[in-house]
Structure 1
Amino acid sequence: MFDFWQGAENLPVYAFMIRATIVYVYIFLIVKVLGQRSMSSIDALDFIFGVVIGDILGEPLTDGELPLAGPAAAAAMTAGLHLSLSVLALKTPRFRRIIEDEPIILMKHGKILHKELRKAKITLEAFLMDLRQNSASDLSEVDYAILEMNGAISVIKKSSYETVTLNDMQKNVPSKGYTSVLIEDGQIIEANVKKFGTLDWLREQVHQRGFANPKQIFLMTIDESGQIYVSPK
């Protein structure tokens, strides 16, 4: 009855499906416990965690003779170590420097530091590609380029090439804030509507924009300044 957990020589197909479901939910819960940070970027700790978890829980999914209890316990231990190291790095700056790489300045005051490029094992072609991906194809506009701990390159442009903001132009514009979905695929999101008005208010907004009813709207949003966006079906 519990062959999907204990393992058997001729494990039926439905047992593999049960195992896959258990492992999927199990990894999902582990990731939720570790927090969103583990999914935002891949640093050394996160890479090791992903590889080890995949190796531990991947084999029982394909080999029906292996019991699931051992790999599940090993995965839990790995997740515990990963979480402990992350918390320790958060609370202990000296330990953080051991497991997390320091940012490397690759370009300073418009000058490419070729020694730092070699240190980071980045070719000039790859460096130029990263600059282009940061909308900095003109090297004369770049003040600093920094290799971050997650492997991404951040670009700081010279002040004269920064984008002009409304604050620079001394114009006061109300903040748009967070955008809330009022209608999604023809369905009214009542919880969000109540933050801004009533259902009658929503229907009035729908009619003002030339729609007979919400079912004709694919997406309708509103920001904190009251600006409404509508995309019809």
Structure 2
Amino acid sequence: MFDFWTGAEDLPVYGYVIRAAIVYIYVFVLIKVLGQRTIGNIHPLDFLFGVIIGDVLGEPLADGDTELAGPFAAAALIGGTHLFLSYLALKTPRFRRIIEDEPLVLIENGQILHKELRKAKITMESLLMDLRLNSAVDLNEVDYAVLESSGQISVIKKSQYDSLSPNDIGQYPQSKGYPTVLIQDGHVIDTNLNKVRDRTWLYEQLQRHGLNDPSECFFLTLDNSGSVYLCPYTNENEKQNA
């Protein structure tokens, strides 16, 4: 009856399905306990954790003979160790330097540091690509370029090439804050609407944009400055498929 947990040489298909569901939920809970992390710039410690966890918990999904208790215990130990190391790095600067690379300056005062490029094993082609991704096509505009611990290159332009901000020209616009979603997929989010406006205001905004009902609106937001963004359904098919 509990072959899906203890394992069996002739484990039926439903046993693998149950195992997959259990492992998925277990990994999901484990990740939630460890805390939210960014995927785009994965830290080496997180990468190591992911590889080991994938190997430990992946084996019972492929081998029906393996009991789940052992891999689950191993995964819990690895997760606890990972959490402890992350906490230690947060609280202890000296230990943080061991597991996190220091930022490396690649361009200083507009001059490319060849020795640092070789140290970071970065070619000029890779450096130029990252500069283009940071809207720094002209090297004459670059003051500093820094290889961050995340592996990304951040760029600081020379002051004369920085974009003007409202503060530079003596303007102090109201903060827009975080936009509040009021309509999504044609449905009014009453919890958000009650915090900022009422239904009367909402219908006024819809009519101002040529709409009669929230079901005709795909997305609508309101920010702290009172600016409204409204996106209607572009055609009847999209409305029906929502």
TM range (shorter): over 0.9
Is 2:226 aligned against 1:218? no
Contact persistence 1:184–1:220 (CA under 8 A): yes
What root-mean-square deviation, in Å, do the aligned CA atoms of Structure 1 and Structure 2 show? 1.2
Task: Give 1:67-82 correspondences, 5 Å limit.
Answer: 67-82=67-82
- Counterpart of 2:133? 133
1:27 corresponds to 2:32: no
State the alpha-carbon separation in 2 of the partners of residues 47 and 131 from structure 1.
26
Distance in structure 1 (CA, Å) of the matches to 2:43 and 2:189? 38
Structure 2 CA distance for aligned equivalents of residues 98 and 219 of structure 1: 47
- How many residues align structurally? 233
Q: Which residue of 2 aligns with 1:172?
A: 172
Q: Distance in 1 between matches of 2:200 and 2:38?
A: 43
Q: Distance in 2 between matches of 1:127 and 1:201?
A: 51
Provide the C-alpha distance between the structure 2 equivalents of 1:61 and 1:215, rounded to a whole number of angstroms. Answer: 44
Instruction: Tell me the amino acid that sits aligned with residue 8 of structure 2.
Output: A
For the structure 1 residues 3 and 63, does the alpha-carbon distance in structure 2 shift closer, same or farther, using more than 3 Å as the test? Answer: same
Which aligned pairs between 1:1-233 and structure 2 lie closer than 5 A?
1-37=1-37, 39=39, 41-233=41-233
Cα distance in structure 2, aligned partners of 1:203 and 1:62: 55
Alpha-carbon shift at residue 136 of structure 1 (Å): 0.9
Question: Deviation above 6 Å: which 4+ runs of structure 1?
Answer: none
Q: Distance in 2 between matches of 1:38 and 1:94?
A: 24
Counterpart amino acid of residue 231 in structure 2: S
Q: Provide the C-alpha distance between the structure 2 equivalents of 1:218 and 1:15, rounded to a whole number of angstroms.
A: 42
How far 1:38 moved relative to its partner? 5.7
1:42-96 deviations in Å (ceiling 9; x for gaps): 1221111111111111111111111111111111110100010010111111111
Separation of aligned partners in 1, 2:94 and 2:122: 27
Partner amino acid, structure 1, of 2:161: Y
Whether the 8 Å CA contact 1:38–1:46 is kept in 2: the answer is no
SS, match of residue 154 in structure 1 = strand
Cα deviation for residue 40 of structure 1 reads 6.0
Distance 2:30 2:53 in 1: 10
| Secondary structure of 2:32 counterpart | helix
- Corresponding position of 2:236: none
Q: Determine the C-alpha separation between the residues in 2 that align with 1:196 and 1:209.
A: 20
The offset of 1:204, in angstroms, is 2.6
Partner Cα distance (2:41, 2:23) in 1: 23
Q: Return the letter of the residue paired with 2:73.
A: A
Partner SS, residue 101 of structure 2: coil
Letter in structure 1 aligned against 2:160: S
CA distance in 2, matches of 1:228, 1:204: 12
Q: Which secondary structure state, in structure 2, belongs to the residue aligned with residue 54 of structure 1?
A: helix
Runs (5+) with no aligned partner, structure 1: none
Q: Is the Cα contact below 8 Å between 1:31 and 1:38 reproduced in 2?
A: no
Distance 1:38 1:15 in 2: 33
Identity %: 60
